[in-house]
């Protein structure tokens, strides 16, 4: 039950973030700062909660190769989305965040296998932090592109449900697989998340908050290490 509660809370952050962007507004600098904090936190959590444990449970060289494969697959899919819909369009933003969110939530579901909620506090907290500003900024951009508030809120709600399903499926369907395969799945998801940080999160943070984004990212790193120490 606690596993499903963690998944629901993390995915619900997309709905609250969208409502924040649609109805209450968010300045670009505030959004850039929050995105950078979330990016720094998610980077550390991905390495500590997904990649590093996997390299101890499976062949290190294969695991690291799978990390690269995850980043490559995400980058190609992200490029295809931008080419088809355009990086600043409402559809492009929603599709890009969905592609970003699926590996994040899959990783969350996999990380929860055989573990108590506190052991993945850093990862789930970092995903929650990243979902809030990303959804707020994406929803705000879709409003600027002449979509109605009701339509935008509905799209983000459906996206949150989709990502919740991804996390639940990752948790339920992969529970019986071997430790080696589970480790490689975590590495692939981790590589995809790192790819999204490099191509989506940090560039957006710098664009909107300039050099303060570097300090904000460091704050995220510190928060992630504190969460990880509590989980340990």
Q: How far is CA 190 from the centre of its chain?
A: 10
Question: Which burial class, exposed, middle or buried, applies to 73 when counting CB atoms under 10 A from its CB (0-12, 13-18, 19+)?
Answer: middle
Q: Alpha helices of the chain — where are they, by DSSP H?
A: 2-19, 28-46, 52-57, 60-85, 90-111, 121-144, 149-173, 179-196, 202-209, 212-231
Separation between Cα atoms, residue 64 and residue 54, nearest integer Å: 9
Tell me the two tokens of residue 158. Answer: 């459906």
Average pLDDT over residues 85-106: 64
Confidence bin at 77 (pLDDT 50/70/90)? confident
Task: Write out pLDDT tens, residues 193-232.
Answer: 898 889 888 988 898 888 999 999 999 899 888 877 765 5
Q: Which long-range contacts (CB under 8 A, 24 or more apart) does 226-229 make?
A: 227/41, 227/45, 227/121, 227/122, 227/125, 227/126, 228/44, 228/45, 228/48, 228/49, 228/121, 228/122
Separation between Cα atoms, residue 132 and residue 18, nearest integer Å: 8
**C-beta separation of 175 from 187 below 8 A:** no
pLDDT at 120: 62
Average pLDDT over residues 104-125: 67
Q: Which residue has the higher pLDDT, 127 or 68?
A: 68
Vertex 16 angle, CA 98 and 162, to 5° = 30
Residue 111 has pLDDT above 60, yes or no: yes
CB neighbour list of residue 132: distance below 8 Å, 6 or more residues apart: 13, 16, 17, 20, 34, 38
Question: Which burial class, exposed, middle or buried, applies to 76 when counting CB atoms under 10 A from its CB (0-12, 13-18, 19+)?
Answer: exposed
Local structure of 210: helix, strand or coil:
coil
Residue 93 has pLDDT above 60, yes or no: no
Nearest CA to 78 out of 217, 194, 221 is that of 194
Nearest CA to 13 out of 109, 135, 123 is that of 135
Confidence bin at 92 (pLDDT 50/70/90)? low
């Amino acid at each position: 039950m606690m596993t499903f509660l963690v998944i629901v809370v993390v995915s619900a952050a997309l709905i609250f973030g969208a409502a924040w962007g649609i109805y209450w507004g968010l300045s670009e600098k505030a959004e850039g700062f929050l995105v950078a904090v979330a990016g720094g936190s998610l980077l550390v959590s991905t390495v500590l909660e997904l990649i590093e444990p996997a390299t101890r449970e499976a062949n290190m060289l294969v695991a690291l190769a799978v990390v690269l494969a995850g980043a490559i697959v995400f980058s190609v899919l992200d490029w295809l989305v931008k080419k088809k819909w355009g990086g600043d369009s409402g559809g492009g933003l929603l599709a890009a965040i969905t592609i970003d969110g699926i590996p994040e939530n899959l990783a969350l579901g996999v990380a929860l296998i055989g573990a108590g909620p506190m052991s993945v506090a850093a990862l789930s907290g970092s995903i929650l932090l990243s979902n809030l500003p990303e959804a707020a900024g994406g929803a705000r951009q879709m409003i600027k592109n002449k979509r109605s508030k009701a339509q935008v809120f509905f799209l983000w709600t459906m996206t949150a449900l989709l990502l919740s399903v991804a996390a639940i499926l990752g948790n339920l369907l992969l529970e019986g697989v071997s430790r080696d395969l589970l480790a490689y799945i975590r590495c692939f998801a981790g590589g995809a998340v790192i790819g999204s940080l490099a191509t989506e999160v940090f560039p957006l943070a710098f664009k909107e908050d300039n050099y303060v984004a570097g300090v904000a990212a460091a704050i995220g790193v510190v928060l992630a290490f504190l969460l990880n120490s509590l989980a340990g």
